[in-house]
A and B are shown apart, each in its own frame.
Chain A
């Protein structure tokens, strides 16, 4: 065996070599004075470092820390988001309900599912019918909104025709004046802290 790497000598000192690896290193060391010395030096340093006496902890150190802690508030554990808690609770309740149902059915999962099959199908049909009705209602609502919008547009168009170009200019100008005055009025009514600072 050629000379082992220094890394391997450290592994040997750390006890990190397998039986066969350690045996090979030991065999080599018996015949290699240089490696023997290299390992001895490193072993002595590691041993001396591990032998360094511990820091002498003052007997009142912990009391000092606790005195500092007394001034601190109790650290609060992070709370879960209420929504998450409710979702988890609902899921747990649903799980418990299903489990209870299975127990009451007194059979295995497959048998239970086949037993509740017809009832589940009826619920599904009801849900589908309800969804269809909801969709129809939405469609009707959309139609009504569209009709009203058309009526408003028609009214504006007829009004504009009656007023003529001058009347339209006066109407637009008047509307702008009202909008700007409203803005200024609202700005004055707002508290100072809510205003944007321009400087």
Chain B
């Protein structure tokens, strides 16, 4: 998995065992390790910075409380992302809101997710072009149905494999591949439609 780019998860079961023995520091290590990929995912799903932080925090709290149910034969990351995915589904169901309004204008104000760019060498024009493409991409992503958007984010932003996504969603790999294909083609269509 790129960037999100998680480090090896081989020591996760050890950290979980330490947590279950009452070592809270071990859970802090887990939070520090997964906060970036978790927030990358959640922020793209809820599109409001404060809400993304609240949701991610709640996901970590739920994961902590559910640690006894974690089985070390599974990847910790997929277990954690399943909790996040289920939480988001419940959250939207209860609040009866969609991930984002289809017509909501995209802006770069404080309320939106602040996306940091560190490319000082790029020329101003190139930077503007990149920014424009990013904005268009974010806008197109927001128009995807939630179940496709989630897979698109996992695949292209979190860099997950099809197998990992299939494990999280408890779906066959073929189904996941097919849905990611749909998401990508829908994204392309939406981007082409944009003025």
Contact yes or no, A45 B61, CB < 8 A? no
A29 to B57, CA, bound (A): 47
A55–B181 touching, CB < 8 Å: no
Question: Among A48, A70, A76, which residue has its beta carbon within 8 angstroms of that of B20?
Answer: A76
Q: Are A50 and B2 in contact (CB under 8 A)?
A: yes
The number of residues on chain B lying at the interface, defined by a beta carbon within 8 Å of a beta carbon of chain A, is 50
Contact status of A55 and B40, CB under 8 A, knowing A50-B159, A76-B68: yes
Give the distance in Å from the alpha carbon of A59 to the alpha carbon of B89 in the complex.
28
Contact B36 A49 (CB under 8 A): no
Stretch from A60-68, A80-88, A188-196 that touches the partner: A60-68
Residues of A16-69 contacting chain B, CB below 8 A = 41-42, 45-46, 48-58, 61-62, 64-66, 68-69
Report whether B27 and A10 are in contact in the complex, using a CB–CB cutoff of 8 Å: no
Q: Give me the 6 closest cross-chain CB pairs, A-B, nearest first.
A: A49-B156, A55-B39, A53-B115, A77-B20, A55-B43, A62-B31
Binding site for A on B (CB under 8 A): 2-4, 19-20, 22, 24, 27-28, 31-32, 35-36, 39-40, 43, 52-53, 56-57, 60-61, 64-69, 113-118, 130, 133-134, 137-138, 141, 152, 156-157, 159, 181, 184-185, 187-188, 191
Is B57 within 8 A of A64, CB to CB? yes
A77's nearest neighbour on chain B, judged by CB, is: B20
Q: Is the CB of A61 within 8 A of B191?
A: no
Which A residues are closer than 8 A to B by beta carbons? Answer: 6-7, 10, 41-42, 45-46, 48-58, 61-62, 64-66, 68-70, 72, 74-78
Q: Which residue of chain B has its CB nearest to the CB of A67? A: B57
Chain B residues contacting A57 (CB-CB under 8 Å) are 35-36, 39
* Given A51-B130, A65-B35, 9 new contacts (CB under 8 A): A41-B188, A48-B137, A52-B115, A52-B157, A55-B39, A62-B28, A64-B57, A66-B31, A77-B20
Is the CB–CB distance between B61 and A69 below 8 Å?
yes
B113, B118, B156, B185: the one contacting A6 at CB < 8 Å is: B185
- Which residue of A has the minimal Cβ distance to B17? A77
Q: How far is the CB of A39 from chain B (nearest CB, A)?
A: 12
Pick from B31, B118, B188: contact of A65, CB below 8 A. Answer: B31
Residues of A within 8 A of B191 (CB): 45
Are B53 and A78 in contact, with the CB atoms below 8 A?
A: no
Asked if B64 contacts A61 (CB within 8 A), the reply is: no
Contacts of A61 in B (CB 8 A): 31, 35, 39, 53, 56-57
Which of B22, B28, B114, B137 interacts with A52 by CB under 8 Å?
B137
Q: Which residues of B contact A50 (CB under 8 A)?
A: 2, 156-157, 159
Q: Is there an interface contact between A45 and B57, defined as CB atoms closer than 8 Å? A: no
B134 proximity list for chain A (CB < 8 A): 48, 51-53
A101 to B185, CA, bound (A): 69
Inter-chain contact A49/B152, CB cutoff 8 Å = yes
Q: Among A64, A65, A72, A78, find the residue whose CB has the most chain B CB atoms closer than 10 A.
A: A65
- Beta-carbon contact of B20 and A45 below 8 Å: no
In the complex, what distance in Å separates the CA atom of A7 from the CA atom of B181? 7
Docked pose: A42 CA to B181 CA in angstroms = 11
Closest to B115 in A: A53
B118: A residues at CB distance < 8 A: 53
